[in-house]
Chain A
Amino acid sequence: MAYKEKKTITTIVTGIAVLTAYCCYSFGSTIAASDTDAILKQQAVTMLKFIGIGIVAMIVIQILFHILYSISLAVASQIKTGNCNDKEIEKMIELEVIEDERDKIIELKSLRIGFVFAGIGFVSALVWLVMDGSPIYLLNIIFIAFGLGSILEGFTRLYYYSR
C-alpha cells in the first residue's frame, strides 16, 4: 500500500472518530436551554467546537503519521541494506509525497462525490424543515451530511487509488 493510500486511511479514521465523538456528545448531552433560538445557539457552539477539534486532530494525526512513516521507511532501509542514510530516506519520502496529475484527478473526482453527498444532505435537511421538522435537527443533518461526505470522499479516493 502506497503512502497516499495510508494517508487517506488515517484521514478517514480521524473523520469517523470526530463524527462519532460529535454524535455521542450532541445526542448524549441534555439541552439546557428552553427556547429554539437558545438551543440553536447551543448547537452552533457545539458544532464550532467540533470543527475546531476536527481540524486540530487532522493536523496532529497527519504530522504523527508522517513521522511514523519516515521511521518505518528508515527501519525498512536499515533491515534491507544494513545502513540508514538520512538523505536517501528524505529522497524516498519526497518521491512518495510528490503530487502528480493522477493525484489531482483522483482528488477532483472524490471531492465531487463528497460534495454531492453533502449537497443531498443539505437538501434533505431543507425538506425536513419544510415537512415541519425541528430546526435543531436541521443543523445536525447538515453537519452530519458534511461529515459523512468527507468520509465518503476518503473512501472514493481509496477506490480510485486501488483501481
Chain B
Amino acid sequence: MKNKCTITNKIREHRFFANEMTQQQLAEIAGVSRQTIIAIEAGKYSPSLELAFKIANAFDVKIDQIFIFKMEVNHND
C-alpha cells in the first residue's frame, strides 16, 4: 500500500478576487521573491508552514482555503 500526497492551491483564484493582485505584490507581502510565488502557484514548490500562513494572511483567509491537501491511497501496491 502506497500513499501519494499532493498539495494543490488556489492562489491564482484568490489573487483574482483580491482585485487582481500581482505576483509581485503577493511576494512583497509574504517576504519572498516573485519566482517563489510563481513556483508555488504552479505547484512546483510546496511552501513551509510559515510561508503558507503568510500567503493565507495576505488574502485574509484560512490556510485550508488556499492550500488543499489530498492523499490518494493505492491499495494495489
B-contacting residues of A (Cβ < 8 Å)? 2, 4, 95-96, 98, 100-103, 161, 163
* Alpha-carbon separation in the docked complex, A81 to B48 (Å): 36
Q: How many positions in chain B have a CB within 8 Å of any CB in the partner chain?
A: 15
Segment of B5-13, B25-33, B64-72 in the binding face: B25-33
A103 near B33 (CB under 8 angstroms)? yes
Of B31, B45, B48, the residue contacting A98 (CB under 8 A) is B31
CB distance from B70 to the nearest CB of A (A): 22
Q: A102–B27 contact, CB under 8 A? A: no
Looking at A4, A100, A101, which has the most chain B CB atoms within 10 Å of its CB?
A100
Taking CB atoms, residues of chain A closer than 8 Å to B39 are 102
Interface centre among B27, B32, B48 (most CB of A within 10 A): B32
Bound CA–CA A100/B28 (angstroms): 12
Instruction: Give chain A nearest CB distance to B56 CB in angstroms.
Output: 16
Q: Convert B9-52 into 0s and 1s, putting 1 for each residue whose CB lies closer than 8 angstroms to a CB of A.
A: 00000000000000010011001111110010000110110010
Bound-complex Cα distance A103 to B45 (A):
11
Structural contact, A95 and B44, CB atoms closer than 8 A: no
Knowing that A102-B32, A163-B44 touch, tell me 19 more A-B residue pairs with CB under 8 angstroms. A2-B33, A2-B34, A2-B35, A95-B24, A95-B27, A95-B28, A96-B33, A98-B31, A98-B32, A100-B31, A100-B33, A100-B36, A100-B51, A101-B36, A101-B48, A101-B51, A102-B33, A102-B36, A103-B33
